[in-house]
Amino acid sequence: MRTSRLWQLGALAVVAVLAMGSGCPIAPSIKDREVELAAGGSTTVQFHAYGSINVFSKDTTIDLANDIDLAQILDDAGIDASNIKHVSLAGVSYRVVVPDPTAARQIVNGNVKIGRGVNPAVTPLITNFTETVNSVTSYKTAPLDPAGVAILNGLLNDMLNNVKSGTPVGSTTISYSLSGQSQPSDVTTDFVWEIKLDISVVGTIKVKVIG
């Protein structure tokens, strides 16, 4: 796409010169301009909350490097790794994808903790949320704990350094730990919900402009 855009700008410059005629020798100049560009990616993980007790706990893991191909994101956006200003977590959201059959079902005192690596010490990411789970929902923005955000940003920056210079990343596994209470507690809990991580990559590219 960038090649096509540069070709069009070059063609416009030629047309401008021809239109001015031989009596007007001054042609518009083509200059390089550096502009900021944002790109992004996301990954999701699902939890099945099921059981006959009202306190539940679920654990799962993802490999962030497999789910978010940072090199491909940069390539698609036309951003060279050396021109990246920052890569960071843009936000976390969640939704119910399979509702609980109990009409009044709620999750209270919900917590999501994360850690880097397999069986790590976990750190809060989302704390003390309450959500009704008796219907399918759209994504809702989750309030985040800075400690959990720091873990994700640390891994994303390690991934960026790997793309830039081949520096080894270390573990790219993120372990999730979910807990909460299901109310009412007299019938079986049975629903599926999903957490989505969004990342933001901001860098600069050079474009050709006439002026």
96 or 27, greater pLDDT:
96
Long-range contacts, stretch 128-133, CB < 8 angstroms, 24+ apart:
130/106, 131/94, 131/96, 131/106, 131/107, 132/105, 132/106, 133/49, 133/96, 133/99, 133/100, 133/105, 133/106, 133/107, 133/191, 133/193
Confidence band of 24 (pLDDT split at 50, 70, 90): low
What residues are paired with 115 via a beta bridge?
Answer: 175
Dist. CA 135–CA 101, nearest whole Å: 8
- In whole angstroms, give the CA distance from residue 142 to residue 86: 22
Q: What is the pTM of this model?
A: 0.77
Per-residue pLDDT reduced to its tens digit, 66-79: 999 998 998 888 88
Dump pLDDT digits (tens) for 123-170: 999 988 888 999 999 999 998 999 999 999 999 999 999 998 999 999
